[in-house]
Structure 1
Amino acid sequence: MTAALLAGVAGLALLDALNPATLAGVALLLLAPMARPVLAAAGFVAGAYLTVLALGAVVYIGADVAADAAGNGLIWVRRIAFTVAAVALAVAGLRRLRARIRPAVTVPGWVNPLSAALLGLVMTGADLPNAFPYFIAIERMVNADVGTTRSLMIIAGYALVYCLPCLLLLIAGATRGDRVRRRLGGLYERLGAEKKQPRSVPIAAGYLAAAAGVLTIAVLA
């Protein structure tokens, strides 16, 4: 295990940590009209962490087996990650070609401090296919051949860094609840409330161009 490997994986984890899905989940729970919103947000973060840890371990073990079976077996890791990201960008671009009303983002009625962990698991798991920095980090670990135990320890650290912004928001909500909720409320009105989205050809073209670029990377990976 080298310092260069750890630094590279840490950098990828920091990039991956800027994840709007998990941050939005914590923010919504802190704003939710429930008895213990901070505890619910903590359950959400725990679910997100366990999801990143478990799926990372599964992908690593599968990639390690593929690398042993065929020397270039890891190429599929990169290609799948970038292809899924390209498809997501293309879908987002096509949706901007017509006017629509974006529904408000709300917390389901069944969510409580216990079931919030399940919500964190579902939201994080649904977003992980787009987290291509994670796949790149796993590929580097397999190529470095640092061993299963050390690799799983690195994956646990990656999952912690991934959840770091959520943890910071959670701590802020626990220590300065009213102030944080006021600021999150203003942000929610701009980003999470029901909103009419007009048709935008330039934005759609930007998404589609980005999708084409990412797909090119997938093909050349």
Structure 2
Amino acid sequence: MSASLVGVVAGLALLDALNPATIGLVALILLLPTESTGPSATARRGSPVALGAGVAVGAALTVFAVGCAVYLAADTAAVAGGLVWVRRLAFGAAGVVLLVTALRRLRPRDVSAVALPGWFSVWTAVPTGVLVTGADLPNAFPYFIAIERMAAAGIGVGAATLLLAGYAVVYCLPCLVLLGVGQRWGDRVRGGLSGLYRRFGAARRLPRSVPLAAAYGAGAVALIAVAASA
């Protein structure tokens, strides 16, 4: 396992860590004391730190477990000479996601408000982290590129397991940092998050945006071209 491979995987993990799904969920958790119906509702759910930690644990377990399964499949494909198809799948899936996003920006649409479900509590935080992260993984092309790089390097299952464990930790770092900052500077952080929520999380109507659609479309074409030439 070379230092360059570790650096590549770490860089991809940092890029993947900036995903809006898990970070947004932790941000909603930090808003609970001000956005919920009162202290009694917060008490029923649990403390924000416990809830956020549960989500982070669920996210890390999902990233690690799915990564191990995908790596074993990719490693088998590499031995069988089919690694090129793993590479094409990683870049092709990312291109399709960007293409769908581009098409959606070509027409206005209504976006519902983002809110935590009533059943969300300290007992369901870990499963919620698993579900949210699992649903977001198909869009996480750095994740699959990292696994493809590990399989191409032929580092073996033991080393790959260590790298995937590190990837899972890095993936959750922004959530853990946000939780720590929220715990230390609660009111100030919640004030900033409330402003972001009103802008990005509240119910709103998204207008069509040709420039954004063109940008997403260009990215999709580039990734699909890479997949085709892999």
1:92-128 deviation per Cα after TM superposition (whole angstroms, max 9, x unaligned): 2222222222111111111111212111111111111
Q: Distance in 2 between matches of 1:93 and 1:148?
A: 38
| 2:139 maps to amino acid | N
The correspondence for 1:79, drawn from 83, 88, 95, is 88
- Aligned pairs for 1:1-221 (under 5 A) are 1-32=1-32, 33=36, 34-35=42-43, 36-68=47-79, 70-71=80-81, 73-221=82-230
CA distance in 1, matches of 2:100, 2:152: 33
Q: Shift of the alpha carbon at 1:181?
A: 1.2
- Segments of 5+ residues of structure 2 without an aligned counterpart are 37-41
Instruction: State the distance in 1 between where 2:171 and 2:188 align.
Output: 25
* Deviation per residue, 1:185-213 (Å, 9 max, x gap): 11111111111212222222222222222
> In the TM superposition, what is the alpha-carbon distance from 1:179 to its structure 2 partner?
1.8
- What is the SS of the residue equivalent to 2:110? strand
CA–CA distance in structure 1, aligned partners of residues 163 and 142 of structure 2:
14
CA drift of 1:26 comes to 0.7
Q: Structure 1 CA distance, aligned partners of 2:215 and 2:146?
A: 27
RMSD: 1.5
Q: Structure 1 unaligned runs (5+)?
A: none
1:213–1:143 distance in 2 versus 1, CA, 3 Å: closer
TM, length-normalised to structure 1: 0.93
Partner of 1:163, secondary structure, is: helix
Using the alignment, how far apart are the partners of 2:122 and 2:221 within structure 1? 41
- Residue 153 of structure 1 deviates from its aligned partner by 0.7
% identity of equivalent residues = 57
Q: Secondary structure at the match of 1:196?
A: strand
Aligned partners of 1:98, 1:190: CA distance in 2, in Å? 20
Q: 1:202 to 1:144 in 2, by over 3 A?
A: closer
